[in-house]
Amino acid sequence: MTILLRNTLVSYKEQIAKEALPAHIAIIMDGNGRWAKHRGLDRLVGHHRGVQSVRSVTEAATELGIRYLTLYTFSTENWNRPQNEIDGLMELLVDSIEKETPTFQRNNIRFDVIGDIARMPVLTAQKLRKCISDTGGNTGLTLILALSYSSRWEIVQAAKRIVDRALSSEEIDEQVFASFLETERFPDPDLLIRTSGEVRVSNFLLWQIAYSELYFTDTLWPDFREAEFYKAIVSYQQRERRFGKTSEQL
């Protein structure tokens, strides 16, 4: 089995065209709770296992030369989950940030966050801001966590900022509106991946994925590792991105 998995990993990786990599990949990391439930374990065990997938995918993206990787980590709706799960997730987040910051520095990874960070626990927000500051000078992969984030929240916040700036309707176009979004400093995702077999985007980057390629897999997030990541990129590279044009115009 180990040999088979290794061969699959090498096979998909060898199919990737380095000259046609997606610049920005976004992932909806779904299935941690179900992974744990299937094994009779507490949901938090699934979240801990999911951290290993984050590490594997980040390492794979860094090695390939992907420029941006955005991970949907905690939505605004997730605040409605049981308090013990929220507390466990916040503790896991703080622990992971502290452990991974030295790795980010060694691998030239810049860390960033989108979302309502002011809503996070004080210690969590402090650790996030410190990691952002410590890695701000790195020039390799930018790893972005979407925390306390939802796209509808983001769009409403953008509208409020525009009102605060008292912009006239004549001053507002797509480019101006996008500059008020959480993601104004990043390019739109080329590829959106969702794990666990769910086929929806769950209030994630609704504006930004207007022309993204979508990839859905039945694999639960704790089982999503390098081979699955490479497979998604191969699928992306087999598609024709027309952006409203015909094939003949490309």
Encode pLDDT of 171-185 as tens digits.
999 999 999 999 999
| 107 in active site | no
> Strands 213-216 and 191-194: what pairing?
parallel
In words, the CATH class of domain 22-65+74-149 is: alpha beta
Encode pLDDT of 12-46 as tens digits.
999 999 999 999 999 999 999 999 999 999 999 99
Distance between the two ends of the chain, CA-based, in angstroms? 43
| 30 in active site | yes
Among 42, 78, 134, 138, the active-site one is: 78
> Could you count the other beta carbons within 10 Å of the beta carbon of residue 29?
22
Among 30, 32, 112, 190, the active-site one is: 30
Encode pLDDT of 226-241 as tens digits.
999 999 999 999 998 8
- Please tell me the total number of residues recorded for the chain in this structure: 250
Domain ranges of the chain: 22-65+74-149, 151-187
Give the relative orientation of helices 226-237 and 43-64 as an angle to the nearest 10 degrees: 50
pTM of the full structure: 0.93
Q: Give the integer Cα–Cα distance in Å for 219 and 196.
A: 5
